[in-house]
């Protein structure tokens, strides 16, 4: 019995040491860019997703394998390779990124799932992005609508052209009036002579 107790104690102690090693080697994912990004339907991602992988002490982890996964259906799209999962490896600064996603034409929010692993250590994160039919500014990750901007430019150009034509016409009218007045005799209006009455025999 004593031998069995010693053996069980040794097993429990080894298990606690192994658990402590796993905890010390845990990974953490910090999203640097791409969270809550909004893109127009059918566009291409201009910002991408960039993450930082660190250990429990906050130090960057080099050589960790990172997978970025888009949903299988609904709003979303594919990565530049044409598939819904992109694999990257962290650099010495602990960063990894996925770029060039091609979005589909289904409006709505979707989740992009991220998993990092190195050896037995794992970490997961989820970010939310959105596809919309409305115009999106560059700061929101998408491209602005070209329709409204081009119409504004057209109307401004027409307005400027009309104003310039009006100014030129007014100047021409002012410059031609004195010249015409100087070269022509003053108008005297219509003159009617005195009536002549002739008296003859009846």
Q: What's the pTM?
A: 0.57
Task: Give tens-digit pLDDT for 82-112.
Answer: 999 999 999 999 999 999 999 999 999 999 9
Task: Give tens-digit pLDDT for 166-190.
Answer: 544 444 444 444 444 444 444 444 4
CATH (residue range 25-149)? 2.60.40.10
Secondary structure of 3-52 as H, E, C letters: HHHHHHHHHHHHHHHHHHHHHHCCEEEEEEECCCCEEECCCECCCCEEEE
Task: Give tens-digit pLDDT for 48-65.
Answer: 999 999 999 999 999 999
Where are the domains positioned within the chain? Answer: 25-149
Non-local (6+) Cβ contacts of 130 within 8 A are 36, 37, 38, 39, 75, 108, 109, 110
pLDDT at 78: 97
pLDDT at 200: 52
pLDDT at 117: 97
């Amino acid at each position: 019995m004593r031998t069995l107790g010693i053996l069980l104690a040794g097993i429990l102690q080894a298990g606690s040491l192994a658990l402590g090693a796993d905890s010390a080697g845990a990974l953490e994912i910090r999203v640097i860019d791409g969270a809550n990004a909004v893109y127009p339907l059918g566009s291409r991602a201009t910002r991408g997703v960039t993450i930082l992988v660190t250990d429990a002490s906050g130090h960057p982890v080099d050589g960790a394998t990172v997978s970025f996964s888009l949903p299988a259906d609904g709003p979303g799209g594919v990565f530049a390779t044409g598939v819904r999962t992109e694999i990257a490896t962290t650099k010495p600064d602990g960063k990894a990124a996925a770029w060039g996603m091609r979005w589909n034409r289904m409006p709505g929010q979707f989740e992009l799932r991220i998993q990092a692993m190195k050896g037995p250590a794992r970490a997961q994160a989820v970010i939310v992005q959105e596809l919309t039919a409305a115009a999106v500014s560059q700061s929101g990750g998408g491209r602005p609508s070209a329709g409204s901007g081009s119409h504004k430019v057209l109307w401004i150009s027409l307005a400027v052209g009309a104003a310039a034509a009006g100014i030129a016409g007014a100047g021409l009218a002012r410059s031609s009036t004195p010249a015409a007045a100087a070269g022509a005799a003053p108008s005297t209006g219509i003159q009617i002579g005195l009536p002549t009455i002739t008296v003859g025999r009846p």
